[in-house]
Amino acid sequence: MIRYTLGRLVSLIISLVIASLVIFSVIEIIPGDPASFMLGINAREDTLAALRSEMGLDQPLAVRYFDWVIGLLQGDFGNSWTYKTPVSELISDRIWVSLPLAIYALILSTLIAFPAGILAASRRGGASDVTIMGATQMGVAIPNFWFAMIMVLIFAIHLRWFSAGGFPGWSNPLQGLKSLTLPAISLALPQAAILARIMRSSLLDMLSEDFIRTARAKGLTRSQALWRHAVRNALIPVLTIIGLQFSFLLAGGIIIEQIFFLPGLGRLIFQAISARDLIVVESVVMLLVFTVIIVNFAVDLAYAAVDPRLRRKA
């Protein structure tokens, strides 16, 4: 177990290092530098040089990379070029919208997908299976931002159950949660469809295993065999998907936030892109990648909890 955890930890650190290198170099290869961008094309050479040295742009590449990484480790992402405030402040204001939204959507997606997948697998070929599978086919095919628009049309404009957008803050947690509900559903339903399909096929794979027949020979009923022997084993592939989905939900949130006018990381990154405030773009991307890598690490550890074969082997 220790060995397994250490192994995963090493690959976590390598992933983070490579990710930071990739993101740093992508930003570096952009034509033109931020100083000339900020001052416009008519800037004088000496003002430009002064700004460059103020921003540390005259340092060698390696030095700038290490400064950036050391800054990240201390929670210092640098200063936004357009807002002139620390990026960490910009992010910490917005992450409390984006992260809860992703978690909310993940919970919804799992809560919908597990029962649906298990029901479909246990009634294989029956009416509920056909219905659930038909619904998931639709769910997989729906673009989530379009689904969000339809949801707004129905629940906000026609039925007026929810507001069409905006976020009142967490001072009243229930209000906050309510304003995240439509966005979370729009994000969660298509993902739930994918997850339910995988849950079902993973369960069906397990149900065709020999040990299910052994369990039946012991006197377990079909549903006992399913619950006691198939579900836990079927979780192994499902966990991978849940991990991948988290990254998808976090990133997908960027678009959904636009539709619902939520002041999250998505809004921030779009404003930063149009203002070419690349340090903000770089920081937000790094943060998202960091979160995803950490989540995948957690998924790897969850594997070991589910599957004893991983605990002793490397």
Q: What are phi and psi of 309, to 5 degrees?
A: -65, -25
What is the torsional sign of CA 219, 224, 230, 233?
negative
Based on the shown chain and the rule CB under 8 A, indicate whether residue 207 belongs to the binding site for other proteins: yes
Q: Which residues pair with 120 in a beta bridge?
A: none
Find the shortest distance in angstroms from Cβ 268 to other proteins: 12
Part of the chain binding other proteins (CB under 8 A), chosen from 61-69, 170-178, 181-189, 213-221: 213-221
Size of the site for other proteins (CB under 8 A): 80
Residues 47-106 that bind other proteins (CB under 8 A): none
Find the shortest distance in angstroms from Cβ 202 to other proteins: 12
Find the shortest distance in angstroms from Cβ 44 to other proteins: 27
Find the shortest distance in angstroms from Cβ 26 to other proteins: 6
Find the shortest distance in angstroms from Cβ 174 to other proteins: 27
Find the shortest distance in angstroms from Cβ 29 to other proteins: 7
Based on the shown chain and the rule CB under 8 A, indicate whether residue 221 belongs to the binding site for other proteins: yes
Find the shortest distance in angstroms from Cβ 154 to other proteins: 10
**Judged by CB under 8 A, which of 69, 216, 227, 301 binds other proteins?**
216
Residues 12-51 that bind other proteins (CB under 8 A): 14-15, 18-19, 23, 26-27, 29-30
**Judged by CB under 8 A, which of 87, 101, 242, 278 binds other proteins?**
278
Identify the CA nearest to 207 among candidates 195, 220, 196.
Answer: 220
What is the torsional sign of CA 131, 138, 121, 247?
negative
Amino acid at 16: L
**Judged by CB under 8 A, which of 80, 229, 262, 268 binds other proteins?**
229
Q: Give 40 or 219: the residue with its C-beta nearer to other proteins.
A: 219
Find the shortest distance in angstroms from Cβ 296 to other proteins: 6
Q: Give 6 or 50: the residue with its C-beta nearer to other proteins.
A: 6
Asked if residues 226 and 118 have their Cβ atoms less than 8 Å apart, the reply is yes
Looking at residue 28, what DSSP letter applies?
Answer: H
Query: Residue 40 region, left (φ>0) first, then alpha (ψ -120 to 50), else beta?
Result: left
**Judged by CB under 8 A, which of 150, 166, 170, 177 binds other proteins?**
150
Looking at residue 86, what DSSP letter applies?
Answer: B
Asked if residues 90 and 280 have their Cβ atoms less than 8 Å apart, the reply is yes
Based on the shown chain and the rule CB under 8 A, indicate whether residue 9 belongs to the binding site for other proteins: no
Based on the shown chain and the rule CB under 8 A, indicate whether residue 168 belongs to the binding site for other proteins: no
**Judged by CB under 8 A, which of 57, 95, 142, 302 binds other proteins?**
142
Based on the shown chain and the rule CB under 8 A, indicate whether residue 269 belongs to the binding site for other proteins: yes
Looking at residue 59, what DSSP letter applies?
Answer: S
**Judged by CB under 8 A, which of 140, 299, 301, 304 binds other proteins?**
140
Which residues touch 138 (CB under 8 Å, ≥6 apart)?
Answer: 193
Q: Is 5 exposed, middle or buried (0-12, 13-18, 19+ CB in 10 A)?
A: middle
Based on the shown chain and the rule CB under 8 A, indicate whether residue 119 belongs to the binding site for other proteins: no
d(CA 304, CA 1): 8
Based on the shown chain and the rule CB under 8 A, indicate whether residue 127 belongs to the binding site for other proteins: no
Q: String of b and e for 150-187 (b: at least 16 CB within 10 Å)?
A: ebbeebbeeeeebbebebeeeeeeeebeebbbbbbbbb
Residue 178: its H or E element: helix 173-207
Asked if residues 268 and 90 have their Cβ atoms less than 8 Å apart, the reply is yes
